[in-house]
Structure 1
Amino acid sequence: MKTTTAILLLAIFLYGCADKSPQTATAPPPPALPVASVISGTETTFQEYPASIEGTVNVEVRPQVSGALEKVFVDEGAFVNAGQPIFKINEQPYRAALNNALAAQHSAEAALVNAQLEVERLTPLVQNKVISEFQLKSAKATAQVAKANIEQAKANVSTAAINIGYTLIKAPVSGYIGRLLKKQGSLVAPADLEALTQLSDVHDVHVYFALGEKDFVNFKDQYPGQTLKDKLQQLPAVKLILADNTEYAKLGKVDVIDGQFDKTTGAITVRAKFPNPQGLLRSGNTGKIRLSLQHNNTLIVPQSATIEVQDKVFVFALTDSNKVKKQAITVIGKSATNYLVKDGVKAGDQIVLSGLDRLQEGAVIAPQKATDKVAAITKK
């Protein structure tokens, strides 16, 4: 019993003598994150605008005389040269009208001969005072009327001949035939609501797009020149993006800006001209115009070095004692994988490139120089 008591007393003594000071926890090291300097440079951004395509000349082909459509010489979509026959209207009624006009002309010419003979007959009689001078004057007036009738008859002949010429409808320009809305045998007239067809000259095409007021101001401020004409000459070539999102092979040139803004849309129409030697583009096509905009001495920040919170873009900038500060930046455009920044940072500022989802305002990091790959992205 004494032995057991001695053991318990020894255990209590040893426990009381044990070191009761708490153990100090070791703080984790700050995270090692890549950082890089914000740089400035020249970057080009691109803005796309919906566009419509038209041939340089789009002509409605309409009849100038009425009649039955006797022949159609072309098919839809065919290419025709200027002056090539495309429709024929039955000319028989107009041929008959020409014959009538010719007959009326001959009759008027005969009437003039008779009137002149009457003048010749009465002239000596008046001179010899056989008849009064009034009769001679009346005969001369009749001759003048006969001359006027001849002129009118000639005009009628010319009109009839012109109408016959109108029965053969020729292509006014070279281009592609549209839909043939009237078929052979149809009755046609100048007053018809629908044209016979449309003819598009598309060896070059005009591409129309619209700029809003703000875009138009930026558009004008971007390029040198005192007048809008001077600025148009300084514009770089533009690209056409087709409906399937492929780039058209030829570059275009902006050549015309409308004289005023549309009051309804608040936009101004701009025209670019594209060559179309193979006829791949047709009137009625749609696409997008891609305009380039050059930014000189702009700040460049990789998109991967930013976070978005409530429609604002932030970076983590490195401050004293390797602490980070969350700073909002103003983005004015994108180029490849970079943001173009107006303010919020300045050239030379150190920003964190990755691991942003784990950072908080005021956190301490162990900054590491960015890898060559990241640095290359930053400097693009």
Structure 2
Amino acid sequence: MQHPYRGGAVPLAAALVACGLTIACSKKEQVKGTPEVAVVTLQPERVAITSELPGRTSAFLVAEVHPQVNGIVQQRVFTEGADIKQGDLLYQIDPRPYQAAYDTAAAALARVEANLPAIRKRAERFKELLSVNAVGHQDFEDADAAAKQAEAEAQSLKAGVESARINLGYTRITAPISGRIGKSNVTPGALATAYQGPAFTTIQQLDQVYVDSPQSSAMLLALQRNLASNRLKGGTPDQAKVKLFLEDGTPYPQQGLLKFSDVTVDPTTGSQILRMVFPNPKHVLLPGMYVRAVVEEGVAEQAILAPQQGVTRDPKGNAVALVLDGSGKVEQRTLKVDRAVGSKWLVTEGLNAGDRLIVEGLQKVRPGVTPKVVPFESKPAAPAPAAK
């Protein structure tokens, strides 16, 4: 006896059920297959363009103190680390040999100057007698040559006296500039050798300090192009204002100015040195400190800022973004990105005001697809963990 459900009835019913399920699933998947994306409508913004550069501080003026005569150091007058003024006595070298040389030169000059009037008068008298043929030409020429020789000797001795006076003055080593003096490298009793050996001490002027920072030549060229195209306003490479942050991140209260950029590009690094000057009334900045300088290049009045999560890179490394065109379809744009401004990219080409930039759901869509647009909700930063 055959089972009542055997034969073609059961396969036909199963096929109809399977077909109905397939159609239902297909419709359900079609509904679920519409991707959702969140977009941001870009608007032009006024943005201050800055560049952060590492740098080192250096003294505004530096003077190394060296002896200019030989001798024994008799005393050191200053206190190490003190503020001194230009002309203050720092060291005293034994002046006695130079005083004796000065006295000798002065005495020799006095002897010649004492005889000089008589020699001049004799030459003048012979000149008068020559006019009446009372003396011969040879006698007059000898008297005139003797007078000129005495005058030349007097001039030579005057120079010798001046040289002796200068050397005597060099025994007093004084401060060439005002500033803060460092440690002393010699003590009383040491032998001073003129113009040789290490410096006795160093003086640095700290009321103002320099900050030297390397900057790529490409960055300077970009800045010059920005200014020439009027994309940036309110700043020039030689008059930009500069803010400073100390090594621990503390902002320095005084604002500085960009003084100049070096005229030579380092061939090994492709960079130039930017020199900035900062007032330092409280001597907070000391030579050799590491700092971070923020150079204000200018202001972009109509800047396009794109959220960083909406900008990716293609296999060639180019910045790309997905936007919705007028019909709501996805379109891919290739961008030119200048720099990061906070959590956004400053875009110079590829995006315009009014463009709808996709910032969420980028992995779900491709160019040509018409996605469903949902509101974009920026997530607040996670709160910092409580201190234990």
Please report the TM-score for the alignment, with normalisation by the length of structure 1: 0.78
Classify the secondary structure of the residue corresponding to 1:301: strand
Of the three residues 299, 313, 317, the one matched with 2:304 is 299
1:87-130 deviations in Å (ceiling 9; x for gaps)? 21111111111222233234334544775798899999999999
1:269-299 deviations in Å (ceiling 9; x for gaps)? 4332211111222333343432234334232
1:66-98 deviations in Å (ceiling 9; x for gaps)? 212222222443321111111211111111112
**Is the alpha carbon distance of 1:365 and 1:232 closer, same or farther for their aligned partners in structure 2, counting shifts above 3 Å?**
closer
* Aligned counterpart, 2:386: none
In 2, the alpha carbon distance for the partners of 1:205 and 1:19 equals 90
* Aligned counterpart, 2:283: 279
**Is the alpha carbon distance of 1:111 and 1:236 closer, same or farther for their aligned partners in structure 2, counting shifts above 3 Å?**
closer
In 1, the alpha carbon distance for the partners of 2:326 and 2:227 equals 42
**Shift of residue 243, structure 1, vs aligned partner:** 3.6
Q: Does structure 1 conserve the Cα–Cα contact (< 8 Å) formed by 2:35 and 2:364?
A: no
Classify the secondary structure of the residue corresponding to 2:213: strand
Q: Does structure 2 conserve the Cα–Cα contact (< 8 Å) formed by 1:241 and 1:287?
A: yes
* Aligned counterpart, 2:70: 66
In 1, the alpha carbon distance for the partners of 2:336 and 2:186 equals 60
1:197 aligned to 2:192?
Answer: no
**Shift of residue 339, structure 1, vs aligned partner:** 1.0
Q: Does structure 2 conserve the Cα–Cα contact (< 8 Å) formed by 1:52 and 1:208?
A: yes
* Aligned counterpart, 2:384: none
1:24-50 deviations in Å (ceiling 9; x for gaps)? 312253344322212222323332334
1:184 aligned to 2:188?
Answer: yes
Taking the TM superposition and a 5 Å limit, the aligned residue runs for 1:26-41 are 26-27=28-29, 28-29=31-32, 30-41=34-45
1:239 aligned to 2:243?
Answer: yes
* Aligned counterpart, 2:321: 315
**Is the alpha carbon distance of 1:41 and 1:11 closer, same or farther for their aligned partners in structure 2, counting shifts above 3 Å?**
same
Q: Does structure 2 conserve the Cα–Cα contact (< 8 Å) formed by 1:307 and 1:356?
A: no
**CA-based RMSD:** 4.0
Opposite residue 356 of structure 1, the aligned amino acid is L
Opposite residue 333 of structure 1, the aligned amino acid is R
In 1, the alpha carbon distance for the partners of 2:149 and 2:201 equals 46
1:339 aligned to 2:334?
Answer: no
Taking the TM superposition and a 5 Å limit, the aligned residue runs for 1:1-380 are 9-12=3-6, 15=10, 18=13, 20-21=15-16, 22=18, 23=21, 24-25=24-25, 26-27=28-29, 28-29=31-32, 30-112=34-116, 138=142, 141-142=145-146, 144-223=148-227, 232=236, 235-259=239-263, 261=265, 266-293=270-297, 294-310=299-315, 311-319=317-325, 322-371=328-377, 373=378
Q: Which runs of 5+ in 1 are unaligned?
A: 376-380
In 1, the alpha carbon distance for the partners of 2:295 and 2:131 equals 91
Opposite residue 15 of structure 2, the aligned amino acid is K
1:286-335 deviations in Å (ceiling 9; x for gaps)? 43432234334232210122333443333332357755344433212211
**Is the alpha carbon distance of 1:129 and 1:32 closer, same or farther for their aligned partners in structure 2, counting shifts above 3 Å?**
closer
1:235-294 deviations in Å (ceiling 9; x for gaps)? 441123434444322111123344555566554443322111112223333434322343
Q: Which runs of 5+ in 2 are unaligned?
A: 381-388
In 1, the alpha carbon distance for the partners of 2:217 and 2:118 equals 77
**Is the alpha carbon distance of 1:255 and 1:40 closer, same or farther for their aligned partners in structure 2, counting shifts above 3 Å?**
same
Classify the secondary structure of the residue corresponding to 2:241: coil
Equivalent pairs, count: 365
Opposite residue 369 of structure 1, the aligned amino acid is P
In 2, the alpha carbon distance for the partners of 1:231 and 1:185 equals 57
**Shift of residue 347, structure 1, vs aligned partner:** 2.4
In 1, the alpha carbon distance for the partners of 2:60 and 2:330 equals 59
In 1, the alpha carbon distance for the partners of 2:280 and 2:271 equals 27
In 2, the alpha carbon distance for the partners of 1:79 and 1:267 equals 36
Classify the secondary structure of the residue corresponding to 1:39: coil
> Any runs of at least 4 consecutive aligned residues in structure 1 with deviations exceeding 6 A, and if so which?
116-133
Q: Does structure 1 conserve the Cα–Cα contact (< 8 Å) formed by 2:84 and 2:178?
A: yes
In 2, the alpha carbon distance for the partners of 1:37 and 1:109 equals 97
**Shift of residue 233, structure 1, vs aligned partner:** 8.5
Q: Does structure 1 conserve the Cα–Cα contact (< 8 Å) formed by 2:36 and 2:361?
A: no
* Aligned counterpart, 1:378: none
In 1, the alpha carbon distance for the partners of 2:335 and 2:136 equals 111
In 1, the alpha carbon distance for the partners of 2:117 and 2:332 equals 109
Please report the TM-score for the alignment, with normalisation by the length of structure 2: 0.77
1:139-190 deviations in Å (ceiling 9; x for gaps)? 6654554454444333323322221111111111111223433333222223
In 2, the alpha carbon distance for the partners of 1:343 and 1:114 equals 94
In 1, the alpha carbon distance for the partners of 2:279 and 2:39 equals 48
In 2, the alpha carbon distance for the partners of 1:356 and 1:123 equals 113
**Is the alpha carbon distance of 1:269 and 1:101 closer, same or farther for their aligned partners in structure 2, counting shifts above 3 Å?**
same
Q: Does structure 1 conserve the Cα–Cα contact (< 8 Å) formed by 2:55 and 2:291?
A: yes
In 1, the alpha carbon distance for the partners of 2:335 and 2:96 equals 80
Range that drifts further, 167-176 or 242-251: 242-251
Range that drifts further, 158-167 or 241-250: 241-250
